[in-house]
Structure 1
Amino acid sequence: MLAMLGAMMLVVLATGVAGALHPASNVEVVDPMTLHLKGEFVESNLGTAIEPDGSATVRIVAEQYAFVPDCVEVPADTPVKFRLTSADVVHGFLLPDTNVNTMVVPGFVAEVRTKFAKAGNYEMPCHEYCGLGHHAMWTRVRVVPAQTLSRKSPTERTSCARE
């Protein structure tokens, strides 16, 4: 009995240690020092892209104390993939009333998927404390009718940040 309890404790400990070494939902690594200069997260590639299959991919960079871009448009009733990374410290990415909730860790790309049933605006706060300006770090996701964005070319990025 004691041996069984010891073995179970060892499994719990090993699982905890192994799980703690991996940030939540990471799919790949990036260099936070150069992500604005080259690769997927350069500024011209941020925002929403409509993929050839009709789904949407949204790329966002979190930094103290903002998300870039600070507003994105996504199509309603369409699969949406969010790809995020951080340029500096750990941030949180949360869309209330959806299944989107992840940590955004420097050096890693977080990827989450969802589908918005209807058009509307979602406010998205950073839910991981990231410094003195944390309370003001939030952005918007604007869900629009799918036909509005389906006319965009795959190389064109959309954002509602300038409005």
Structure 2
Amino acid sequence: MNIETFEKAFLALGGVLLGACLAALLFASVVMGIQLPGRAGEVDPEQLATTPPFDQPGVRQVDANKYEIVVIGRAFNFEPEEIRVPVGADLTFIATSQDVLHGFNIEKTRVNMMLIPGQISRTVYTFDEPGEYLIICHEYCGVGHHTMGGKVIVE
């Protein structure tokens, strides 16, 4: 089989680009510590009111500069709707949905989780700039979807 020089060049270019993409993913994951929000466990959506940590949604300080933010998505709001945190604090968001599929996205950040009934989602983030950041539901969840939101106030 005879492969033309032009074809060899495109195969080589494709291999180099594939290798570069894999190297970038590995670098971001291992060196920079960037992880996708993942499934952190399961919970019965009908028992959220009696299941820790969802029995007390809100901001909880767990160490000198570390906070846990427990969020419940339900039609058509987030609980809590307003989150206040200090700038530079290490934040762990723990969230789930009580009823249907919801999204949890904080504008201008990489915080973006799917809230699935029965599944606990977890991600970490540090706000480096003070300000007010909007929280939106980015998954259609019903007729009141457009009203579902909240805010993070970083002081």
TM-score scaled by length of structure 1 = 0.70
Q: Secondary structure at the match of 1:93?
A: strand
Which segments of structure 1 move beyond 6 Å, counting only runs of 4 or more? none
Counterpart CA distance in 2 for 1:129 and 1:25 is 20
Higher Cα radius of gyration:
2
Q: How many residues align?
A: 119
Report % sequence identity. 33
Kindly indicate whether residue 140 of structure 2 is the aligned counterpart of residue 125 of structure 1. Answer: no
Deviations 1:58-105 (A, max 9, x none): 001000000011111112111111000110001001011111011000
Counterpart CA distance in 2 for 1:90 and 1:107 is 10
Q: Paired residue for 2:124?
A: 113
Question: Paired residue for 2:44, among 28, 31, 36?
Answer: 31
Q: Paired residue for 1:9?
A: none
Paired AA for residue 33 in structure 1: E
Paired AA for residue 44 in structure 2: D
Counterpart CA distance in 1 for 2:101 and 2:129 is 31
Unaligned stretches of 5+ residues in structure 1: 1-23, 145-163
1:53 CA displacement: 4.3
Kindly indicate whether residue 103 of structure 2 is the aligned counterpart of residue 92 of structure 1. Answer: yes
Larger RCO, structures 1/2 (Cα 8 Å, 6+ apart): 1
Kindly indicate whether residue 54 of structure 2 is the aligned counterpart of residue 41 of structure 1. Answer: yes
RMSD: 1.1
Counterpart CA distance in 2 for 1:94 and 1:38 is 24
